[in-house]
Structure 1
């Protein structure tokens, strides 16, 4: 079965702009392939405020991915693969942060989240920084992986400070919004 788009709670996307939609074969083995359907959103107003203040593309982002195994696997086999999927997702998320120009990407801890569907997600907390011209903006992120009807991966990152750049940053609100966005993915 091919990957289907993740369902994102549209009522939680007020300031968010969809900047990427992709369907990719994430990896392939002789007997099975893993496809991912990914949506990536950015906070466009925040991106513009940082760009005006710094000339840099700093923003908060959120993504959601639904995985599909082709051919489909039994739920028992999927359950056995959960640690492997979570580990691969953590590596891919760290790479995604790096691709966005972040440095000192560090896993800071783990937590459990309950998403709106009632499923329990394993979440990993990240810190990083966006550095340029001797300045650094601290970044915090969260990646969640859970299994319902297949695997869902969702997460994102946000500035947690502005290094006195004159851009208002509300890290607590950004963290709450990210957790709500993750929770609303089905």
Structure 2
């Protein structure tokens, strides 16, 4: 493809930092080429607090969000079968990413509906565990994919449901903040 795929736009709160940005071909669908421009952000403040509380450098990146813009070539208008294919392949890739980040026992829990640009989008919720300090800590993650013009937007992220003491964390607030970031993806 000769044209660069534009990065997605996402509003992240203060204290979040871009930790990865790449353009890839995330999965193969024989008759079309799919390219993605992906950005991953992490909650640096929580990461540092967890590192201080546990003394563990690795395994403390439980709270992150990503946004991707997918382009299909040759240009193919969104359709229900194509959207389902994109959603299924991208959901599988999201589970792989969670596992690469140290999440274990990743299980699909249910689906929530979120409003993105006046359209209801299905956001799949996952439950998982992260092992730190010899204990499994529960983590929740969400993933969504939706058509946007002739492209697709993907978004997802995760957050802990509990953190090691003496730290405190409000998972309900984290969920709402994640949904807010997903709604902002353009």
Q: TM-score, normalised by structure 1?
A: 0.90
Q: Secondary structure at the match of 1:20?
A: strand
Matches within 5 A, 1:101-116: 101-115=102-116
Partners of 1:178 and 1:29 lie apart in 2 by: 30
1:135 equivalent in structure 2: 135
> Is this contact kept in 2: 1:50–1:57, CA < 8 A?
no
Q: Secondary structure at the match of 1:7?
A: coil
Q: Secondary structure at the match of 1:166?
A: coil
Q: Could you list the runs of 5+ residues in structure 1 that have no partner in the other structure?
A: none
Q: TM-score, normalised by structure 2?
A: 0.90
The Cα shift of 1:107 comes to 0.5
The Cα shift of 1:114 comes to 0.8
Partners of 1:38 and 1:6 lie apart in 2 by: 7
> Is this contact kept in 1: 2:59–2:131, CA < 8 A?
no
Q: What root-mean-square deviation, in Å, do the aligned CA atoms of Structure 1 and Structure 2 show?
A: 1.6
Q: Secondary structure at the match of 2:45?
A: helix
Q: Could you list the runs of 5+ residues in structure 2 that have no partner in the other structure?
A: none
Partners of 2:144 and 2:181 lie apart in 1 by: 11
The Cα shift of 1:67 comes to 0.3
> Is this contact kept in 2: 1:2–1:35, CA < 8 A?
no
1:6 equivalent in structure 2: 8
Partners of 1:29 and 1:156 lie apart in 2 by: 25
1:50-83 Cα offsets, whole Å, 9 max, x none, are 11111143230000001001221134xx443111
Q: Does 1:63 align with 2:45?
A: no
1:80 equivalent in structure 2: 81
Partners of 1:50 and 1:132 lie apart in 2 by: 10
Q: Secondary structure at the match of 2:121?
A: strand
Q: Does 1:41 align with 2:44?
A: no
Q: Secondary structure at the match of 1:52?
A: helix
2:168 equivalent in structure 1: 168
Partners of 1:79 and 1:36 lie apart in 2 by: 20
Partners of 1:30 and 1:147 lie apart in 2 by: 20
1:16 equivalent in structure 2: 16
Q: Number of aligned pairs?
A: 180
